[in-house]
Structure 1
C-alpha cells in the first residue's frame, strides 16, 4: 500500500505522543518534567513539525530544516532535533510504499550536499547541548560532501549518525526486537515503549550523555539502566515498576543527565512500527 501524506503525518504524531506518554527515566514524560522542559512542549513540537516531516514536495534535508525552523519559532528550545534526523528519512522512505527498510536504504543513498547544507543549518538553529566542534564536517562550516559522508565521519561517536551509515540497523533489529519481545510477553499500555527505551539506554552509551558529561558517566548510566531494566522486567505490578523508574528518573535529573538519544531512537522505533502498519494494512485485513 502507498500511504497518503496524512497517514504518515499521523503515524509520526502518534509515535511522538506515545513516547512522551511513557515513563522514561531522565527524559521529559507525562509523569515528570525535566531539564527546563515539559511534556506539553513535546506534544506541541510533534504537531508543529509533522507538516514538514510529511511534506512530499521537500527533500530530506529541506524537511529537517523546515521542521526545526517551525519548532524553534514556537517552542524556542531544542525538543526534537534528534527525532527529526531519524524520522524524516523514515517518512520519505514510506512514501513509495513497499518495504520500509529497503526504501530507507535507497533514501539514504540519495542524500547529497544540499541535504548536508540544510541539516547543518538545522543543527546550528537547534543548538543541541554539548555539540562542540569537529575536525571534519563541522556543522558551522559549509559542507563539502554529501550528508551520508558527514554522518559516516561521526558514526563512531554518535548513535544517530550511526543509523544513517547502517541503514537504521539498531532500530530495525534492536528497537523493533525489544518492542516485539515486550508485546509477546503481553506487556500493554506504555510498557512496550518503556522497554524499547530501556533497551537502548542499557545497550549503548547514550550519545547525548557522552557529549555533555563524557564517556565515563555515559557508561555508568548504561550500567545502571541495565540493572533497572532487569528489576522492572522482574516486577509484574505496574505501580511498583513506576516507583523504581521514578526513583531512577529523579536521580538522573538531579545529576543533570538527559539520555536524549535513547529517547530519539525510541520515537524512531515507534514511528517505524506505525509506518509498517500503514504500509501493510491490506495484508492485515486480508
Structure 2
C-alpha cells in the first residue's frame, strides 16, 4: 500500500518533470507563455497535492478541493486537466494490489452522481462551460453520472475519453513512448519530451481544437510529426533544444497552446511513478 506522502511525492514529481521539459507551445521552465508562468504551475502542483491525496476521499471531492486550492493560490486555470486525470489514478493507487490499470478501471466504474456534481462544480470554477453538452451544462446540477457525462464529451475531449477508455492513451501511447525513450538511454527531460511529442503527434490536441478549430489542431499534429521525426535523427542536447525552441516559438506566436497534450503527459508520468511504487 502506498502512503499518502508517497502519493503526494509521485504527483508533485510528475508535475515538476512536465514543467521542466521543453514542450513546444506550453509553459515550461525554458519559456513562459499564454500569460502564465512556470512558477504558477509549480505552485499549483504544491497546493493541489494534499486534497488530491486525501485517503478514501471520493474522486469528485478530490478534484473540487484541488481546484479550489489552485484558484486560491494562483487565481487562474493552470491545472484543471491535470487534476481531472490525476485524481482517479491516485485513488486507484490506494486500492489493494499492484495492478494500477485494473484498479483504475474499478475506480472509474464506481464514479457516481455525487462525483459528477463535484466535478461539474470544479470545471465551472476553473473554466465555465469547459465540459458538458446542452443536456449537461457544468453550471447546472448533473442529470447523469460522471462516466456518462465524460462519454458524451469523449468525441471532442481527450481527457473525457480517458475516463471512458480506461486511460488507453496514457497506458498505450504515453507509457510506450516513455519506455522506448528510457530503453535507448534517454535521461533528464528527454523521456518527458518523448511522451509529450507522442501525444502531440498521435492526436489532435483538444485544447487547440476548442480554441482554434479542428483544422488548426490537425495542422499542429502534422507539424509535430515532422518535428518528432527530425528530433529522432538528432543527437546532443543543444541541437535538439534548438529544434524544439523554434517549434515552441512558432506555436506561441500564433497563440497555440497544446494544453491537453501537456495534461496527458503529467498523467503518464504519474502513472509511471505510481506503478514503480506499487511494484
TM over 0.5: yes
For residues 237 and 131 of structure 2, the distance between their equivalents in structure 1, rounded to whole angstroms, comes to 40
For residues 273 and 41 of structure 1, the distance between their equivalents in structure 2, rounded to whole angstroms, comes to 24
For residues 84 and 153 of structure 2, the distance between their equivalents in structure 1, rounded to whole angstroms, comes to 14
Q: Say yes or no: does 1:125 pair with 2:144.
A: no
Equivalent residue number for residue 105 of structure 1? 105
Note the alpha carbon deviations across 1:9-64, whole angstroms, 9 max, x for none: 10000000000000000000010000001101111100000001100142000000
- Residues 127-276 of structure 1 aligned to structure 2 (within 5 Å): 127=127, 131=130, 134-276=133-275
Q: Say yes or no: does 1:24 pair with 2:40.
A: no
**8 Å contact 1:93–1:100 — kept in the other structure?**
yes
Deviant stretches of 4+, over 3 Å = 130-133
For residues 131 and 156 of structure 2, the distance between their equivalents in structure 1, rounded to whole angstroms, comes to 13
Note the alpha carbon deviations across 1:83-133, whole angstroms, 9 max, x for none: 0000000000000132100000000000001100000000010017x8386
Q: Say yes or no: does 1:48 pair with 2:47.
A: yes
**SS in structure 2 at match of 1:97:** coil
**8 Å contact 1:137–1:153 — kept in the other structure?**
no
**SS in structure 1 at match of 2:140:** coil
**SS in structure 2 at match of 1:236:** coil
- Of 94-103 and 211-220, the range deviating more from structure 2: 94-103
Equivalent residue number for residue 81 of structure 2? 82
Note the alpha carbon deviations across 1:228-253, whole angstroms, 9 max, x for none: 01111110111101011001101111
**8 Å contact 1:65–1:121 — kept in the other structure?**
yes
Deviation at 1:135, TM superposition (A): 2.1
For residues 276 and 73 of structure 2, the distance between their equivalents in structure 1, rounded to whole angstroms, comes to 31
RMSD: 1.1
For residues 92 and 102 of structure 1, the distance between their equivalents in structure 2, rounded to whole angstroms, comes to 12
Equivalent residue number for residue 284 of structure 1? none
**8 Å contact 2:123–2:130 — kept in the other structure?**
no
Give the 3 Å change call, closer, same or farther, for CA 181–146 of structure 1 in structure 2.
same
**SS in structure 1 at match of 2:106:** helix
- Size of the aligned set, in residue pairs, is 278
Deviation at 1:137, TM superposition (A): 1.7
**8 Å contact 2:14–2:273 — kept in the other structure?**
yes
